[in-house]
A and B are shown apart, each in its own frame.
Chain A
Amino acid sequence: MKKTIGLISANYVIEEINSNIQERGLAALPFGSRYRLIDFPLSNLKNSGVGCVGIIMPFNNRALIDHIGAGKAWGFGRKTNSLFMLPGSVYGRKNNADKFLLRDIILNFRFIDYDNADYVILCGVNKIFNMNFQPMIKQHEQSGNDLTVAYTVKDGKDIPLDCAIINQSFLIDIASWYGNLDFLGLMKIIEDYLDDADIGRYEFDSEVIIIENMHDYLKGNLSLLENDVRENIFNPDNQIYTNVQDRAPTFYAPSSKVHNSLIAAGCMIEGEVENSVIFRSSHIHKGAKVKNSVLMQDCNVSEGAYLNNFICDKRVHVMKNVRVEGTMETPYYVQKGQII
């Protein structure tokens, strides 16, 4: 069997989101009640039997390192399966054109070269899907191509998944030939300079949630309330793993009223929740109402508060009788730890 390693790039920014979430970095953005964006590519790689994965780290990497640890939750950090946190270049702080900067690849040449792999699977972090890579690896192997790029088709248009499989030798060649163009992205170089490269296409026809701004973020979270989306993204045959915190079950008080919502463990629900995604250990007090919103971990919504189209970062305290309303297009966002 051919050997495949994984390379996840977390070293890029999407200005509309990063300006909001600041020091956390995109890859560590919480999603779907108990996950972070990085969980999806990491779990996809684990579920596809890829035993060696490197993550090109963003400049702001504290939250990401804290979340991943040694990678035990995804089956890494063992004698046979290892996870590498790779340095990213500082250009990642501004880069939004290409997910894979050539200089990040050159900087981590040793990782790519290290394991005598045949193929490298490349993944970004802001497109969420549950994919087993084995069929793509197989297609790539049979085609004899240099590179196979994954797409999904929406409304008749090709949408790239920032996900590809590339021959290791081809990747190493590009890194050594185009060192003087290292400010460019890998895909840009292949497109502009390597006309004769054999490039294949892999079509993925399952659920994809793309997050490129705060509207996408709210919409993407709320799309998990649809049974088929949720069952697809959290397909138990291809489980999405995350850092386990072992919180107590969620408690519903006699006064609780909950409809169409995804709610994590450790919460205390005394008020009303509708069409919302609630992360761990949040407390919705009696008489409070949360609608069409995302509340991240440890939020506290006091009596009589009313939130609609609202994105609440971690540990936000909403005072009594506060009314805040955004719109689906421009949700109201409150930063971590604020009191409103």
Chain B
Amino acid sequence: MSGKKCIAMLLAGGQGSRLGALTKNIAKPAVSFAGKYRIIDFSLSNCVNSAIDTVGVLTQYKPLVLNHYIGTGEAWDLDSAHGGAHILPPYATETGGSWYLGTANAIYNNIDFVDIYDPEHVLILSGDHLYKMNYADMLEEHIEHDADLTISVYNVSLKEASRFGIMSVNEEGRIYKFSEKPKKPDSTLASMGIYIFKWSILREALLKDHETEGSDHDFGKNIIPALLKEKKRLFPYYFEGYWKDIGTIESYYEAQMEMITKDIGRLMFREGSQIYSNSNLYPAHYIGKKGKVKTSLVCNGCVVDGTVTQSSLALSVIIGEGSVIKDSVLLPGVQIGKNCKITKAIVNEGVSVKDGSVIKDPDGGIVVVSADSEWAR
């Protein structure tokens, strides 16, 4: 079997502990988003829309929902004969085995997997970003530059820059400096955590990194600086458009609300390439005789007998009579009783809220409602 041009390795093992209750039982890439989607849908759909038919999904933290969701990868057309979606959890060997110790270590442990496909290039992705990108364009530039590594970059504000891996580029267009979360950033070119490596170069770097004592086995902290030191050819790939790294409850809520706005909603879901998902089949949603919906997203299976404004209703959400939902995000399977008043809340998957509940943070913050909240039934 001849080698592939490019395969993708998708890092989906992170806990996302700053998302609190939302990631209590599921990995961050499996968190519900924009109604019918889960966060990982964006990366998986980007792969398929970029003609990448082989994706290794590296899982570690609470992977069961994610495994179940990805299944054979059929929902994203990733069930091809030579290729497809593969779940890659940590595994045992004759000398023991260990957890994935860092992003680079996760790939290191799956060198044998990549070797099965013998690709020329490997695309490294995070499973927790929201964006639409054609990786084929990035790969084309990568090959044109004869780059050893191409890093997708996004222009951020100077204020935000210290949260990212920041790059400096010389006149030739090559990256000569990379600093992970610098205190005093000297550029605003932020790494999006999307890399295309020549597999031969990455393979060698991973083997070396594994032998390096004290390494964090991290792409940003270890692998990229090591390649720069070796004067390898590193190039940026400039990305413009919507891109969001969901780190906190606040940024998650903000991103959910952005999907309701007409322009971003259109950009993500009604224009250009399609985002695919593996959702259950439900009948169309029903807006009842007393139901009212304005400025909101509503998915299949919903039944709305209350009033909904500025909110996102995921699959199969039930809103009881007399309830008023405002500025809120209701995840799949949520049931809101009668005469509730819910403002600026995120109601976690499958939670039933008691009749007459009033949910609102007096200080205007975001309330996360989960199964053990006082309002849950």
Contact = CB atoms under 8 A, between A and B. Distances in A.
Interface of A: 32-34, 225, 230, 234, 239-242, 244, 246, 248-265, 268, 277-278
B284 A251 contact: no
A242 B281 CA distance: 8
B291 interface: yes
Contacts of B270: 248, 268
Interface string B279-300: 1010111111101111111111
B287 A234 contact: no
Contacts of A244: 281
Given A249-B36, A251-B262, A264 B300 contact: yes
A256 B299 CA distance: 16
Given A246-B276, A249-B297, A252-B296, A260 B287 contact: yes
Given A246-B277, A248-B270, A251-B262, A262 B284 contact: yes
25 contacts: A32-B283, A33-B284, A34-B300, A230-B286, A239-B281, A242-B281, A248-B34, A248-B265, A248-B269, A248-B275, A249-B34, A249-B35, A249-B36, A249-B312, A251-B297, A252-B298, A254-B295, A255-B294, A256-B293, A256-B294, A257-B292, A259-B287, A260-B288, A262-B285, A263-B298
Given A248-B275, A249-B35, A249-B298, A258 B284 contact: no
Contacts of B291: 258-260
A250 B313 CA distance: 10
Given A246-B276, A250-B299, 4 more contacts: A250-B285, A254-B294, A260-B287, A277-B284
A268 B300 CA distance: 14
A262 B286 contact: yes
A259 B262 contact: no
Contacts of A258: 287, 291-293
Interface in B254-274: 260, 262, 265, 268-270, 274
Contacts of B296: 251-252
A225 B289 CA distance: 9
A245 B134 CA distance: 22
A225 B286 contact: yes
Contact of A265 (B288, B289, B294, B300): B300
Contact of A241 (B75, B279, B281, B292): B281
Sorted nearest first, the 8 A-B pairs with minimum C-beta distance are A33-B284, A248-B269, A249-B35, A264-B284, A249-B297, A234-B283, A249-B299, A252-B293
B300 to A, nearest CB: 5
Given A34-B284, A230-B286, A250 B295 contact: no
Interface of B: 34-36, 75, 260, 262, 265, 268-270, 274-277, 279, 281, 283-289, 291-300, 312-313
Contact of B289 (A250, A259, A263): A259
Nearest to A248: B269
Contacts of A256: 293-295
A253 B262 contact: yes
Nearest to A259: B289
A225 to B, nearest CB: 7
B286 A251 contact: no
B289 to A, nearest CB: 5
Nearest to A279: B284
A265 B293 CA distance: 15
Nearest to B296: A252
Contacts of B297: 249-252
A71 B371 CA distance: 38
Contacts of B286: 225, 230, 261-263
A33 B313 CA distance: 18
A255 B268 CA distance: 21
Contacts of B295: 252-254, 256
Contacts of A255: 294
A263 B284 CA distance: 5
A273 B119 CA distance: 53
A265 B289 CA distance: 20
Nearest to B34: A249
Nearest to A281: B270
Contacts of A253: 262, 294-295
A224 B87 CA distance: 41
B287 A265 contact: no
A32 to B, nearest CB: 7
A33 B298 contact: no
A154 to B, nearest CB: 24
Could you say which of A230, A252, A253 has the most chain B C-beta atoms within 10 Å of its C-beta? Answer: A252
A31 to B, nearest CB: 11
A246 B275 CA distance: 8
B71 to A, nearest CB: 13
A42 to B, nearest CB: 13
Contact of A261 (B36, B275, B287, B313): B287
A264 B302 CA distance: 10
Nearest to B36: A249
A33 B289 CA distance: 18
A249 B262 CA distance: 13
A336 B137 CA distance: 38
Contacts of A262: 283-286
B262 A265 contact: no
